[in-house]
């Protein structure tokens, strides 16, 4: 048994005790990085922190295990050599419009560059966004080539199905007054709920109203860009987009109870087409598993749906979720448009989604959607008909709305099939 040496615990839960006197000021929404100031959420010097929570979202808990077990030095500082973004993003005018971006740090990918002087002076700062390049390959895209829906061009799409992409990983950074305003609640009420629902994990939420920035311990998002990222933010650039909320069972393992992976693959197809026409395609992949209810709740609901009297059918699709979770959905699209403001996007020419909630959130944020693209029927697996019909009946975008008789018909497989 060995443990790393610990000094006394420094609490930053009250102003002055941990001491915020040395912490840089954050002016959220300022036009330049210098005026905005760095977000200090590292733990090396508690007196210089100006944010609640810490980096890496839920992975902070693994870091704690690494420190506790002695595998990681608690004072480790990253070496940022050669880690700069593989493509330039921003700054865009939207970064300086108050209230536009409240759930991510627009300067997050540029931290080592724009705050180089502070880092050199000893401040421990970390990027909350990273931008790199990759090739992706999905069997559905090869199938689209075989069926003639996609044509390889040797640059964006190769004959073997490889697609060149730029991708960005984004950790959430919440500006609490802006989050409260977005949800039309008082900041104090928001802070209290965050404090209580995390089991009191972040006392500063209630004891430090002077700290306005919170790095929540949740998953963020990954962006996949098709085409030239530098074209974004120009009014003439045509943009195709799918905003996709994580569904591990379907996205990764091809589970056929929902339409998630088919929709993702179709969205990527629409994005590749747009890039080949000189525009930019964008897939926003949000870590909001199971409508942000998590997989345990999701699997409980699957059982409840398939075991109910009358079988798995569209008319009880949302009801069965609500019985288990208390709500039908916790994704809250209110924060979703932030990423478009970050990218300087004011218009989406082709929008590969049927969700009226996502569309409503974009419109609310002043982002124009020109054309909504529905998924072709032949890409929907048969067990997922229950989900598709339920969503159409609830107001999701489609060219046909199922009748009441149609919704009452059991269509999903039984549990033992
Ligand atoms: Zn799914």
How does pLDDT run along the chain (417 residues), one tens digit per residue?
555 556 777 667 766 554 445 899 999 999 999 999 999 999 989 999 999 999 999 999 999 999 999 999 999 999 999 999 999 999 999 999 989 999 999 999 999 999 999 999 999 999 999 999 999 999 999 999 999 999 999 999 999 999 999 999 999 999 999 999 999 999 999 999 999 999 999 999 999 999 999 999 999 999 999 999 999 999 999 999 999 999 999 999 999 888 899 999 999 999 999 999 999 999 999 999 999 999 999 999 989 988 988 888 888 888 888 989 998 888 889 999 999 999 999 999 999 998 889 999 999 999 999 999 988 888 887 777 778 788 877 777 777 777 888 787 777 778 888
Measured in Å, residue 221 CA sits from the centre of ligand 1 at: 17
From the list 48, 331, 350, 385, the catalytic residue is 331
Please give the Cα distance from 214 to 341 (Å, whole number).
20
Torsion of CA 66, 68, 69, 70, to 10 degrees: 80
Query: Which residue bears the tokens 């963020």?
Result: 220
**Which protein residues have a CB closer than 5 Å to ligand 1 (ion)?**
247, 250, 258, 260
pTM (two decimals):
0.92
Measured in Å, residue 331 CA sits from the centre of ligand 1 at: 14
Measured in Å, residue 139 CA sits from the centre of ligand 1 at: 18
Measured in Å, residue 163 CA sits from the centre of ligand 1 at: 24
Measured in Å, residue 158 CA sits from the centre of ligand 1 at: 28
From the list 329, 338, 383, 389, the catalytic residue is 329
Helical H segments across 210-256, by residue range: 248-251
Measured in Å, residue 260 CA sits from the centre of ligand 1 at: 4
Torsion of CA 67, 69, 72, 74, to 10 degrees: 30
Measured in Å, residue 256 CA sits from the centre of ligand 1 at: 8
Please give the Cα distance from 244 to 251 (Å, whole number).
10
331 is catalytic: yes
Cβ neighbours for 223, distance < 8 A, ≥ 6 positions apart: 167, 168, 170, 282, 283, 284, 285, 339, 343
First to last CA, the chain: 50
- Number of separate helices (H) and strands (E) present in the chain: 17, 10
Strand partners, 285: 222, 244
Please give the Cα distance from 336 to 339 (Å, whole number).
7
Largest CA distance in the chain: 69
329 is catalytic: yes
User: Hey, how many other C-beta atoms are within 10 angstroms of the C-beta on 383?
Assistant: 18
**What are the structural domains, with CATH classification, of the chain?**
31-287+330-380 (3.40.50.10990)
Measured in Å, residue 219 CA sits from the centre of ligand 1 at: 17
């Amino acid at each position: 048994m060995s443990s790393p040496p610990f000094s006394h615990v420094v609490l930053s839960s009250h102003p002055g005790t941990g001491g915020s006197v040395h912490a840089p000021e954050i002016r959220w929404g300022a036009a330049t990085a210098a005026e905005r100031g760095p977000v200090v959420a590292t733990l090396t010097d508690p007196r210089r922190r100006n944010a609640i929570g810490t980096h890496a979202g839920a992975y902070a808990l693994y870091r704690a295990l690494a420190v506790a077990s002695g595998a990681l030095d608690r004072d480790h500082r990253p070496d940022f050599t050669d880690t700069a973004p593989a493509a330039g993003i921003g700054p865009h005018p939207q970064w300086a419009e108050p209230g536009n971006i409240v759930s991510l740090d627009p300067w997050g990918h540029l931290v080592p560059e724009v705050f180089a002087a502070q880092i050199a002076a000893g401040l421990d700062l970390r990027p909350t966004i990273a931008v790199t390049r990759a090739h992706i390959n999905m069997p559905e895209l090869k199938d689209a080539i075989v069926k003639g829906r996609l044509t390889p061009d040797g640059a964006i799409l190769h004959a073997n199905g490889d697609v060149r992409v730029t991708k960005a990983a984004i950790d959430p950074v919440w500006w609490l007054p802006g989050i409260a305003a977005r949800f039309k609640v008082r900041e104090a009420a928001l802070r209290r709920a965050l404090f209580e629902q995390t089991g009191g994990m972040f006392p500063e939420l209630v004891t430090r109203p002077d700290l306005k920035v919170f790095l929540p311990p949740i998953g963020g998002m990954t962006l996949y860009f098709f085409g030239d990222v530098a074209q974004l933010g120009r009014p003439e650039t045509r943009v195709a987009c799918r905003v996709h909320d994580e569904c591990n069972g379907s996205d990764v393992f091809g589970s056929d109870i929902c339409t998630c992976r088919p929709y993702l693959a179709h969205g990527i197809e629409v994005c590749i087409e747009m890039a080949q026409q000189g525009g930019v395609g964008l897939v926003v992949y949000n870590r909001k598993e199971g409508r942000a209810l998590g997989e345990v709740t999701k699997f409980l609901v699957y059982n409840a749906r398939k075991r109910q009297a009358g079988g798995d059918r569209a008319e009880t699709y949302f009801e069965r979720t609500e019985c288990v979770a208390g709500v039908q959905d916790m994704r809250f699209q209110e924060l979703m448009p932030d990423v478009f403001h970050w990218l300087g996007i004011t218009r989406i020419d082709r929008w590969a989604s049927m969700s009226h909630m996502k569309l409503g959130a974009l419109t609310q944020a002043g982002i124009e959607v020109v054309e909504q693209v529905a998924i072709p029927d032949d890409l929907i697996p048969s067990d997922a008909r229950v989900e598709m019909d339920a969503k159409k009946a609830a107001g999701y975008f489609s060219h046909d709305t199922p009748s009441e008789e149609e919704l009452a018909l059991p269509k999903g497989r039984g549990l033992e099939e």
